[in-house]
Every structure is written in structure tokens, then in C-alpha cells.
Amino acid sequence: LKGVCRIVVENEKNMKYAYYPGCSAESTARDQYVSVREVARVLGIDLIEPKGWTCCGATPAHNTDRDLSIGLPAANLLIAKSMGLDMVVFCAACYNRMKMANYEIRSNPDRRKELAVLLGEDYDGSVEVHHFVEVLVKNVGMKKLQEAFTHSLDGLKVASYYGCLLVRPKLATNFDDPENPTIMDSLVTLMGGESIDWPHKVECCGGGFALTRTDIVVELSNSILGMAKAAGAQCIAVACPMCQVNLDLRQSDIKKVKNINHNLPVVYITQLIGLCLGLSPAQLGMHKCVVSPKPVIELVRSNERRDVL
């Protein structure tokens, strides 16, 4: 019995993380936040927000100032360090910035010293940063996930879209293969869906220019949506809030500028997982999608697994 208790305790400890939602979780990507929270709750993953977390600085910081580009993400990693937990992130930009901060601090002792002055505290780059999808696949495990699914994606063709900042640069993020990542595809397959093979998995959607250069965003998003459609996708699964907003919201602009109506739902991978875990679309914030994900929801609803009942 002692042994069992120890396993349970260790398991509990392994499933506890500091969770950095990122600024977009409070605004444009509220749906991402609620779907991550709900999926974590069902699977028994304990996500604790670092108290008083601040912005990672994203692209404007590294465009402007070297100190801020490392200092802002490191400030949050220091909070996670004081909590004694690994950091879990969903936003690809935050993930990238934190991994880059760790990478620079670990490989450049001078930068570490400069940073200690900036933060008023030494940070050694020791807090491990994981993407939520990595936690699902590597720590929760495919077996436990499969057992938890009550519905399947049977009959749904999904294009897994990774974007740039998760996979690049491999040196720092070490997320998956930088040219042909498959981690989300493996989740889609596990859920019973058909993960399509397509060449635009890691193309850039233009996220950083969402406000400034919408002409570039329309161009790049159109090429991604067009390729997904040509490959036969019925929806795109994403793991980044910027990609979701861009690909979803810009479809109306593409229609206006290019006269192409893609009408392709863009959902978070956590929303698909949530549906397969039997959660309601409202719980997963799916009413926030601009292009209606109704066909996806209806299909999953009709795919209840009989063997688990």
C-alpha cells in the first residue's frame, strides 16, 4: 500500500505546473484559456498561475531592446522558480520568448550577469518550459488520454497547423521537428480524426503584423487557408492564439480582397480535445470563433464512443 501511495503522490507532483496564460488569454484568446483550463481539470493536471505574472514582451520587445527581450520572460520564469514548478505555456509567442530567454542565459554567462542586475536577482535558466500539448503527449500520455475520450473525431479531416514560433528555432525551443512536426497530428489521430498531410504546417501566418501590415497578413493567411482547403481539411487545429485570431478573423478580409470564401473553421487543439472529453462547446469557448465551428461540433456530438459507456 505504501508503494501505491508513493506512486500516487509522485504522480500528483508530476502533474502540477506553473501555468502562464499570456496576455492574449485575457483578451483575444479567452477561448484558448478556458479550453486549456477545462481540459486540464478533466485530466487532473494542476495548473497554478504565477502570482502577478507580467507580459513576456513578445515581438515588440525583441524588436526594440535586448534587455527587455530576455528580461521580461525571465521575470516570469523567476516566479515559477520560486514556486518550484515547471512552466506550462500555451501561447506560442510566450513559449518562444521564454525558451529563448533560457537559451541565452544558459549559453551566455555575460548576459546572465547583466540580467541579474536588471531583475535584481540571479536567474540560472533552470526552469523547464513546456507547451501544454507537450504536457498532454509526454506527461499525461497517449494511453490515459485515449481512456478519457468519450467522443471521437471519426470522419473529420483536420489540418494541424503549428506556425513559426513553436518549432523555431529548434536550437532554443526543441519542440518537435522544425520542418515537419507531428505532435498535434498524433493527437488528432488518437482522437480518431484524419490528420491530413499538408505542406504549410510551419508557414508563418503573419501574426506579428495583425494590426500594422494587414496586407501581408491577408496574403500569408490566404495561402495557408487555401492549402489546407486544397488538401481536403474540414478544419484547422492550432496551438497558438495569434494564429487562431489571424486565420479565423481574416477570412472576411480575404473574401473582400481576393474574393475567395474559405469558410474553414479554425479551432484550438484543446477545443477538439475538450469535445472528445465530452465537454460542451460553451465550456470550451467555441462560440467565440468567427467562422462557425458548428459542423465540427455536430460531427463530434454524433460520434459518441459506445465502448466506454
Could you list the residues that contact other proteins (CB under 8 A)?
A: 23-24, 26-28, 30, 51-55, 57-69, 71-72, 75, 96, 108, 117-120, 164-165, 167-171, 178, 202-204, 206-209, 211-214, 216, 219-220, 245, 249, 252, 287-288, 290
Given a contact cutoff of 8 angstroms between Cβ atoms, the answer to whether 76 and 50 are in contact is yes
Q: How far is the CB of 152 from other proteins (least distance, A)?
A: 28
Q: In the complex with other proteins, which residue's Cβ is closer, 94 or 191?
A: 94
Q: How far is the CB of 118 from other proteins (least distance, A)?
A: 5
Q: In the complex with other proteins, which residue's Cβ is closer, 6 or 113?
A: 113
Q: How far is the CB of 207 from other proteins (least distance, A)?
A: 8
Q: How far is the CB of 53 from other proteins (least distance, A)?
A: 7
Q: In the beta sheet, which residues pair with residue 194?
A: 157
Q: How far is the CB of 211 from other proteins (least distance, A)?
A: 6
Would you tell me how many other CB atoms lie within 10 Å of the CB of residue 172?
19
Q: In the complex with other proteins, which residue's Cβ is closer, 54 or 126?
A: 54
Query: How many residues are listed for the chain in this entry?
Result: 309
Burial classification of residue 298, based on how many CB atoms lie within 10 Å of its CB (0-12 exposed, 13-18 middle, 19 or more buried): exposed
Q: In the complex with other proteins, which residue's Cβ is closer, 121 or 304?
A: 121
Given a contact cutoff of 8 angstroms between Cβ atoms, the answer to whether 196 and 182 are in contact is no
Q: In the complex with other proteins, which residue's Cβ is closer, 92 or 277?
A: 92
Cell of 29: 484568446
Q: In the complex with other proteins, which residue's Cβ is closer, 163 or 193?
A: 163
Given a contact cutoff of 8 angstroms between Cβ atoms, the answer to whether 153 and 272 are in contact is yes
Cα 189 to Cα 153, 156, 234, 301: the distances in Å are: 8, 10, 15, 17
Q: Give the residue among 152, 221, 233 at the shortest CA–CA distance from 197.
A: 233
Q: How far is the CB of 86 from other proteins (least distance, A)?
A: 21
